[in-house]
Structure 1
Amino acid sequence: MSEQLVANELLAFLQQKLDVMDEVSAVQICASNFSEDDVAAAKQLLYRLLNKSDQMVSRRRDGTKKSIQDIITLLKETDPDDVPTFVAKDLSKLPPVTFDHVDVTCLLKDIVFLKASLADVQKQLDASQNTVASLRSEVNELRKSVAVTRSPVDASCNVNTRRGACLDVSGASFASAVLSPSPLSPPNAESAQCAPRAPSCPARVPAAPPLAAARLLDQLLVSAASAKPSGVRREYASVAGSTIGAKMKPVPVKGPDRADDDGFVMVQRRKRRQRTNKNRCGTAPIEPNIKIRAAKPNTLVYISRLHYTTKAEDIVEYVRQKLKYAPRVQLLESRHNANFKAFVVRVPTCFLHLVLDENFWPQGVVFRRFRGQVPQDRTEGHSA
């Protein structure tokens, strides 16, 4: 509704109650509580505010109810933003709306729709709660598996695990330790100890879920492949027929991508090759006796609305007087029967700012930069 406020009790009542009651009840209430003069005045006021006075129909017989029906029809057909806001100046004139005038069927439909919407929302809420509960349980299980896989080994090994020295085990024993389905050892169980003068440090690896075990195996393989041996002999494929140990055998890296002691490889961006076959521009001075000279770049300019008697030579002469330069001019043929001519003028780019100035061309001539493809010059044209 518009911000304009207009005082009229009948129009204010209809504007506010048409959304909650049917037209028949609204017509009956207004006909029994407002006089015929009030209805006629409200009708004229509404049509006048909406600038539709010429469309207003005059009612002779039973004009009250028909006029009210006309008002209701106009309010429903007009955009609410174009209708001003009607207010009541005398509240005693507003008719009361009892339960008899309310459409009970519409209310029942609204109640049924609200119940269905509420049930749908409840189902969605239950489904979301179940999803959140399952996600929480999965997160808790992942936290437990990570905590188990990160359990510290006995510090008596005195081995730098960062460089993978503690991974000097055979392939079969390593795979069986990681993928073993044995139950978890108690927290106070005796940790693995390193045997003196032994080339390897076997440790008890607790069982983990399949996904966590696979990830742990991949991480250990990567760290073992990138680690550098530090005085400890590695025997990954010591067991005959062990494919896992064969895969775990480190491969020496040659070239500039060799890893450092910590397993990191320096990555450098390759330099782009410089192009040797690129264009160059001459700088030798121009002498009078030299016939070789560089061509000046030209820009096409479109001029139109010229008199039908104008020729290309006239435009060449006009531009020569202005710029001391004779351009190439080409006539454009029109597909329609026009009473004027249009041309394309090839102007040096250095003179473009002068040619596109409004003071350059005579009054009434239309000009701009030419767009499109220039047709072949068949009939009329001039070359400098």
Structure 2
Amino acid sequence: MDIVKCNNCNIVICELLAFVQNKADVMDEDSILRLCSTAFTTDEITQAKKLLFESVQTTTRRVHRKGEGKSKRDMEDILCVIKETDPDLVPIFVARDLHRLPPVTFDHIDATRLLRDIIKLQDNVLFIKENYATKEMVLNQTSEIYGNKKRGAAILQDSFDCNSSPVGLPHISTEEFQTDSTDIIHTSCIDNTKTQRPVAHLLSSDSLARKVTCHSGLSLSRPTERLSGENGSGGRRSAVSPVRVTSRPARTEVSQPSSNSYAEAAARAPRASEVAGSSTSASNGKICKNDDWVLVQRRRNKNRFTAMTGKADSHYNTFKAANTRIPFYIYNVDINCMTEDISNYIMSKTGVDVQLEKVNMKFKKDYGGYKFMIPKDKLSIFMDENLWPCGVSYR
């Protein structure tokens, strides 16, 4: 056994290590141990272990095995080092005598593990067949979505009600749709029984800017001319009778807003206050031309829970008001000032004995701050600016 080294590679000649390195990922450990223990001698296994620890830098401690089962335990050490070491740090083990490599037959394979792996593989294949889509299915779905978008359904306003089907809708040009829009507007004014959906967003700005005026005089003139012309030529009966035309209610002026901008349509639209004012004034017989906004607010009950304070003398009874105390803060106080001096000053000015508590600043300051509790009824005294020295802040 020799270690052959070159500038670009690290090759170690050892039949046992070459066999273990190539079969460690294919065979289980028990099969490798059983096969190598019978194919190689104890001395060969010991020399291979020594060569492995010399050629690989590992933290595993080399243990000299003794007694019965020495070969098996040495093989376990070899497998442990090869599997735990980074493959890039393990040298390339090669075999000089190929006939020394033991053949792997079915006698050295764990049949139970092989069957378990086959069953696991079958389950994975079945799962893929049931849950994964084929390439043909994905292509068909993609082409179907592309066909629905490109066959004209998106041009119509109510495209969500349309189904292009495998044949698809006919291609509709924008010019043809714009020319037919004028006829749609006229027919909507004449026929009162049919309801036309708004198509303002598909029409051009010129056609939408036209004002269509439908009133009783215009609707009566056209059927009369048709009736006289047809009776004079061949006595043909008119499709619309004068009685039927006169029975129709008069229509107001209908204007189609321009689609240039929504701001123009919003500016021309009547305000809600104007509509409400016009309806109210029409019922009362008055015309309201006031365009000012009126602020509407909910009427609130002011001073709903206002409480009064008693003033009776309670020195002769235990029934009296609670002595509520509230926190009071003073800061911008000189650091060298003592708490006893501050307490004595407050006692002399207000007659209230307070317990000062120094406030811990998050950042170091050049001044100090204190907190203390005062009676609530004495708050007006403590809030007097003439009480505190000049420069001392309080709240």
Same fold (TM over 0.5): no
TM-score band by shorter chain is 0.3 to 0.5
TM-score by length of 1: 0.43
Which structure is richer in relative contact order (CA contacts within 8 A, separation 6 or more)? 1
TM-score by length of 2: 0.42
